[in-house]
A and B are shown apart, each in its own frame.
Chain A
Amino acid sequence: MTSLFEEVPATADADADVPVRRVTVTLNGERRAADVEPRLLLAHLLRQGFRLTGTHTGCDTTNCGACTVLVDGLPVKSCTMLAVQADGHDVTTVEGLAGPSGLHPLQEGFKDEHGLQCGFCTPGMMLAAKALLEENPDPTEDEVRFALSGNLCRCTGYQNIVKAVLWAAKRMNGSEQ
């Protein structure tokens, strides 16, 4: 079953009578291009076009934040951005969080503090948290809750997510947990 879920090369939905535009993005540090319809949502380009399925869609009204990615370092709900608007920009998805030396501290923190259950909100949650920690490396609990209030979770009751983000902040600041 594994192979069924693996990435396939990005394919544009290029039909003769539908206008398409070339989109070029730096995706997780790698230059990627696709021909897309102007109406295609960035979330769908990432998921279907580039087969990066860690970005999820949990709603149709921009409330849930499961599709959160970083565009030029800022958290964006990719269900509410057209793929063509990302042209020329730098996009980070959950698949780009881990570095060559291993998991990002946020990924470690979410595991260590049990900040996830079904895992569906987790990618968006971690990326929203990453943007927070870059702007505010030592947030209070209230600041974490506020920063994540655009990201809904149905499983965890948020407390362990808050702990996970604070865990990561400490790790990234070089202090002991």
Chain B
Amino acid sequence: MLRKEDRRFVRGRGRYVDDLQLPGMLHLAVLRSPVAHARIVSIDTLAAEAHPKVKAVVTGAMLAERGLAWMPTLSGDRQAVLATDKVRFQGQEVAFVVAEDRYSARDALELIDVEYDLLEPVVDVRRALDPDAALIRDDVPGKTDNHCFDWETGDAAAAEAVFARAEVVVRQELVFPRVHPAPMETCGAVADYDRIEEKLTLWSTTQAPHAHRTLLSMFAGIPEHRIRVVSPDIGGGFGNKVPVYPGYVHAIVGSIMTGRPVKWTEDRTENLVASGFARDYVMQGEIAATREGRILAVRSHVLADHGAFNGTAAPRKFPGGFFGVFTGSYDIEAAYCSMTAVHTNKAPGGVAYACSFRIAEAVYLVERLVDMLAAELDRDPVSLRMQNFIRPDQFPYTSRTGWVYDSGDYPRAMELALQIAGYDELRAEQAERRARGAGEPLMGIGVSFFTEAVGAGPRKDMDMLGLGMADGCELRVHPTGSAVVRISVQTQGQGHETTFAQLIAEELGLHPDDVDVVHGDTDSTPYGLGTYGSRSTPVSGAAAVLAARRVRDKAQLIAAGMLEVAPDDLEWSTAQGGGRFDVRGVPGSGVTIQEVAMRAHGAGDLPDGVEGGLDAQISYNPDNLTYPFGAYICVVDIDPGTAVVTVRRFIAVDDCGTRINEMIVEGQIHGGLTDGIGMALMEFIGFDEHGNCLGGSLMDYLIPTALEVPDWETGTTVTPAPDHPIGAKGVGESATVGSPPAVVNAVIDALAPYGVRHADMPLTPSRVWEAMQGRAAPPF
């Protein structure tokens, strides 16, 4: 089915936040710190206030008087709305201006004079806990160092025992560098505080409008029923639009102060420098095996750079996200991970960019280690994986770190990928090229097999700020048989308006065009935690299906009354595309769902105990996550003279269980594979020793164009999710999670003749060239 939302987007009639124009609306611009770490000595705003078009200039001191200088983050830390005492990262918000138009607001920023007293910045994550490292978080009473949190999972003693007796151990430091989701649309908001109704309406780029409403209420003291958050069309999220950013609060404060609507739209540089980054894990990885290639254990220590504030969006009990799935797709004896998270003078973030709560990092760790083990044992990386896969008959499979994988058939997916790729022919071509020797492009073949864990999550284990990670759906069937479904999740391009209509239509025997999907408005949609972590289909999708089934159960009672038979004498069918109840064994004897809907709302008696109307509401609390998986093969060519890597082919076999819309799933995978190539080869948010961000614009932060990506070759297997009402698993982040190790494994494979064992992302020409010369080098 083609997408419903395309009708407006191809006409330029989408409604994104910056398209919003309210009467009397003012514009907001943010003054940001030019340095990474400094005490604020003074701020002079007199000249800015005198600008004829300026309505307000606000500093941290002004917010502090109202108790609004600091706000809570989704991970229970706090973050400065405007800096008061000192700045802690370059790009941090120091003051804001509200003016008649956006050009004047920017003009006025130039008129604000801030005097800084420079402090030593903490930039290198490895030095953050040094005794002489500058203290970043002196706002936290009693804090004496830059420690953020510790976390561990698995069994340290069991892992130690296995490593002590293992015949082969491979160790490698693996850096997943800081990158950024960089959605095409940056973050922004329009706040409109109505002083008469004492009600705040906030249109914002949020993936989690309900959670934002609750957090804003708790922080700003506005009762929750007087806050309406509206997430209109969003120009991509990729996790960047989960946190509450200071800019949203600035717009709210600006609107309360001026009594007029206030718009905040950040530019690309602000987005890259100051909004939620992704990754930044330094992972000490170890893998233990027998000489025959039986993988026995995986162990790691992670040093996580969280920036100046812990703004990570992760379930409360999972400060390291779902990194615990780092044992991957393999049946092993022991596993252990310890993690140390630290503060540095950088922007907050960490969980973003389709990482599924740190699974991107976990998959990268295990898939690089398995490849390095294959190299050590002189084994083919595919056969080594096949030897160690969790077998189909082992599901549900409890991993050594406690994750219960729901279903999987890994060998089948791997074999399909090998077949599409023509793997044996590729290896033969590679051998032939290597035999021809110098001057030939270097050819590399990289494999990655990943298991995802998406659909957070069971509320007994998972919450954010105490909010359980259930999601809602409210379904209303109108008298004439069309329907509106209101969902708590929030699409950012993933096609929910189409796929949720398909889910309801399928269950009720309606045409998808007769089902409208409403989302994003907290006044009219049921409560839920939003769209990220590929959780829409597993959680809200399940809620939608169950709501439709509840409606159908009620419809069956009403139909039985209409036909004067017992409900059990009816059978449901959707033959000829329309839903109907017929008397069992007598096709065509019954009533259509539309006739039942009219009866439910109409005149005449309903069966005893049946209320009028045909609606249902569900808040779905999943029993478990879903565990989609995939087999990826990447083929690269490397120019030996320039070290430029070209991705020649990419084969992706994904299994996300039941597919609601094949076309949309494929599109999700294409996008995620492009992310993977970007991360592996191009994208990087770096810093110099002063803490200056070196990836702060699209001049430096390179994302793939149509020229850097190949035609994707995809394949499908279907292993349904046993716990989901239609067997569907999430898939949106699978390709982003699964593809970086495939690309890196391919590049390292190509460089095998040079004796290269490992090189860290991004594998830019300079870094690949240095690796070919036997040197590890920084990417710039």
Residues of A in contact with B (beta carbons under 8 Å apart): 1, 4-5, 8, 13, 15, 17, 37, 39-40, 44, 47-48, 51-61, 63-64, 66, 93-95, 97-98, 103, 107, 110-112, 114, 116-123, 126, 141, 144-146, 148-162
Minimum CB distance partner of A110 in chain B: B10
Let me know if B70 is at the binding interface, CB within 8 A.
no
Let me know if B494 is at the binding interface, CB within 8 A.
yes
Contact call B709/A157, Cβ cutoff below 8 A: yes
C-alpha spacing A2/B495, complex, angstroms: 20
Minimum CB distance partner of A2 in chain B: B15
Residues of chain A within 8 A of B6, CB atoms compared? 110-111, 116, 119
Contact call B697/A61, Cβ cutoff below 8 A: yes
Nearest 10 CB-CB pairings of A with B: A54-B12, A118-B493, A119-B9, A120-B235, A157-B670, A94-B12, A117-B493, A63-B698, A53-B19, A157-B674
- Of A5, A118, A122, A157, which is within 8 A of B712 by CB? A157
- How many residues from B make CB contacts under 8 Å with A? 69
Contact call B184/A58, Cβ cutoff below 8 A: yes
Let me know if B673 is at the binding interface, CB within 8 A.
yes
Q: Given A5-B19, A122-B9, is A155 in contact with B698 using a C-beta cutoff of 8 Å?
A: no
Contact call A118/B234, Cβ cutoff below 8 A: yes
Minimum CB distance partner of A51 in chain B: B21
Contact call B698/A64, Cβ cutoff below 8 A: yes
Minimum CB distance partner of B15 in chain A: A5
Proximity string of chain B (9-23) to chain A, C-beta cutoff 8 Å, 1 when within and 0 when not: 111111110111110
Shortest distance from the beta carbon of A158 to any chain B beta carbon, whole Å: 4
Contact call A114/B235, Cβ cutoff below 8 A: no
Residues of chain B within 8 A of A144, CB atoms compared? 706
Contact call B671/A157, Cβ cutoff below 8 A: yes
Contact call A56/B3, Cβ cutoff below 8 A: no
C-alpha spacing A126/B663, complex, angstroms: 20
C-alpha spacing A27/B664, complex, angstroms: 35
Q: Given A60-B267, A117-B671, A122-B9, is A154 in contact with B3 using a C-beta cutoff of 8 Å?
A: no
| 5 sample A-B contacts, Cβ–Cβ < 8 Å, listed by A number | A5-B15, A112-B2, A114-B3, A119-B8, A158-B674
Residues of chain A within 8 A of B19, CB atoms compared? 5, 47, 53
Contact call A58/B268, Cβ cutoff below 8 A: yes
C-alpha spacing A107/B230, complex, angstroms: 28
Residues of chain A within 8 A of B267, CB atoms compared? 59-60
Minimum CB distance partner of A119 in chain B: B9
C-alpha spacing A162/B674, complex, angstroms: 14
Shortest distance from the beta carbon of A104 to any chain B beta carbon, whole Å: 9
Let me know if B667 is at the binding interface, CB within 8 A.
yes
Residues of B in contact with A (beta carbons under 8 Å apart): 2-3, 5-16, 18-22, 52-53, 100-103, 182-186, 230, 232-238, 267-269, 492-495, 521, 663-664, 666-675, 697-699, 703-707, 709, 711-712
Residues of chain A within 8 A of B495, CB atoms compared? 117
C-alpha spacing A114/B20, complex, angstroms: 26
Contact call B20/A4, Cβ cutoff below 8 A: yes
Minimum CB distance partner of B182 in chain A: A154
Residues of chain B within 8 A of A145, CB atoms compared? 706-707
Contact call B706/A107, Cβ cutoff below 8 A: no
Residues of chain B within 8 A of A4, CB atoms compared? 20-22
Contact call A114/B697, Cβ cutoff below 8 A: no
Contact call B10/A159, Cβ cutoff below 8 A: no
- Of A47, A59, A148, A162, which is within 8 A of B268 by CB? A59
Residues of chain A within 8 A of B100, CB atoms compared? 13
Residues of chain A within 8 A of B236, CB atoms compared? 117-118, 120, 154-155
Shortest distance from the beta carbon of A12 to any chain B beta carbon, whole Å: 11
Residues of chain A within 8 A of B20, CB atoms compared? 4-5
- Of B268, B670, B673, B674, which is within 8 A of A60 by CB? B268
C-alpha spacing A40/B104, complex, angstroms: 11
Shortest distance from the beta carbon of A69 to any chain B beta carbon, whole Å: 11
Minimum CB distance partner of B702 in chain A: A63
C-alpha spacing A39/B22, complex, angstroms: 24
Q: Given A5-B20, A56-B185, A60-B697, is A119 in contact with B11 using a C-beta cutoff of 8 Å?
A: no
Shortest distance from the beta carbon of B101 to any chain A beta carbon, whole Å: 6
Residues of chain B within 8 A of A117, CB atoms compared? 236, 493-495, 667-668, 671
Contact call A64/B184, Cβ cutoff below 8 A: yes
C-alpha spacing A112/B319, complex, angstroms: 42
Extra contacts besides A97-B10, A155-B184 (14): CB < 8 Å = A1-B15, A37-B103, A60-B267, A60-B697, A98-B11, A110-B6, A111-B2, A114-B3, A118-B235, A154-B182, A155-B493, A157-B669, A157-B672, A158-B704
Most chain B beta carbons < 10 A, residue from A47, A54, A103, A141:
A54
Shortest distance from the beta carbon of B664 to any chain A beta carbon, whole Å: 7
- Of B13, B102, B185, B706, which is within 8 A of A120 by CB? B185
Minimum CB distance partner of B712 in chain A: A159
Contact call B674/A116, Cβ cutoff below 8 A: no
Shortest distance from the beta carbon of A170 to any chain B beta carbon, whole Å: 18
Q: Given A60-B267, A116-B6, A116-B9, is A156 in contact with B699 using a C-beta cutoff of 8 Å?
A: no
Q: Given A4-B22, A56-B16, A160-B670, is A122 in contact with B10 using a C-beta cutoff of 8 Å?
A: yes
Contact call B706/A149, Cβ cutoff below 8 A: yes
Residues of chain B within 8 A of A152, CB atoms compared? 184, 698, 703, 705
Contact call B184/A121, Cβ cutoff below 8 A: yes
Minimum CB distance partner of B265 in chain A: A57
Residues of chain B within 8 A of A5, CB atoms compared? 15, 19-21
Minimum CB distance partner of A127 in chain B: B12
Contact call B185/A58, Cβ cutoff below 8 A: yes
Residues of chain A within 8 A of B186, CB atoms compared? 58
Most chain A beta carbons < 10 A, residue from B183, B669, B671:
B671
C-alpha spacing A54/B362, complex, angstroms: 39
Contact call A111/B699, Cβ cutoff below 8 A: no
Residues of chain B within 8 A of A160, CB atoms compared? 667, 670
Q: Given A95-B11, A112-B2, is A158 in contact with B706 using a C-beta cutoff of 8 Å?
A: yes
Contact call A156/B52, Cβ cutoff below 8 A: no
Shortest distance from the beta carbon of B742 to any chain A beta carbon, whole Å: 15
Minimum CB distance partner of B521 in chain A: A1
Minimum CB distance partner of B703 in chain A: A152
Minimum CB distance partner of A96 in chain B: B12
Most chain A beta carbons < 10 A, residue from B52, B102, B667, B674:
B667
Shortest distance from the beta carbon of A151 to any chain B beta carbon, whole Å: 8
Residues of chain B within 8 A of A158, CB atoms compared? 670, 674, 704-706, 709
Q: Given A60-B267, A61-B697, A114-B2, is A40 in contact with B103 using a C-beta cutoff of 8 Å?
A: yes
Residues of chain B within 8 A of A150, CB atoms compared? 705
Most chain B beta carbons < 10 A, residue from A15, A66, A111, A119:
A119
Shortest distance from the beta carbon of B185 to any chain A beta carbon, whole Å: 5
Residues of chain A within 8 A of B699, CB atoms compared? 61, 63
C-alpha spacing A58/B21, complex, angstroms: 19
Residues of chain A within 8 A of B671, CB atoms compared? 117, 154-157
Contact call B667/A119, Cβ cutoff below 8 A: no
C-alpha spacing A51/B102, complex, angstroms: 15
Most chain B beta carbons < 10 A, residue from A37, A56, A154:
A154
Contact call B12/A123, Cβ cutoff below 8 A: yes
Residues of chain B within 8 A of A156, CB atoms compared? 667, 670-671, 674
Residues of chain A within 8 A of B673, CB atoms compared? 157
Contact call B11/A154, Cβ cutoff below 8 A: no
Contact call B2/A118, Cβ cutoff below 8 A: no
C-alpha spacing A52/B704, complex, angstroms: 28
Contact call B712/A95, Cβ cutoff below 8 A: no
Minimum CB distance partner of B2 in chain A: A111
C-alpha spacing A149/B699, complex, angstroms: 14
Contact call B706/A162, Cβ cutoff below 8 A: yes
Q: Given A39-B103, A59-B698, is A95 in contact with B12 using a C-beta cutoff of 8 Å?
A: yes
C-alpha spacing A95/B9, complex, angstroms: 10
Residues of chain A within 8 A of B521, CB atoms compared? 1
Residues of chain B within 8 A of A111, CB atoms compared? 2-3, 6-7, 10
Shortest distance from the beta carbon of B239 to any chain A beta carbon, whole Å: 12
Shortest distance from the beta carbon of A141 to any chain B beta carbon, whole Å: 8
Minimum CB distance partner of A145 in chain B: B706
Shortest distance from the beta carbon of B403 to any chain A beta carbon, whole Å: 29
- Of B52, B183, B232, B669, which is within 8 A of A15 by CB? B52
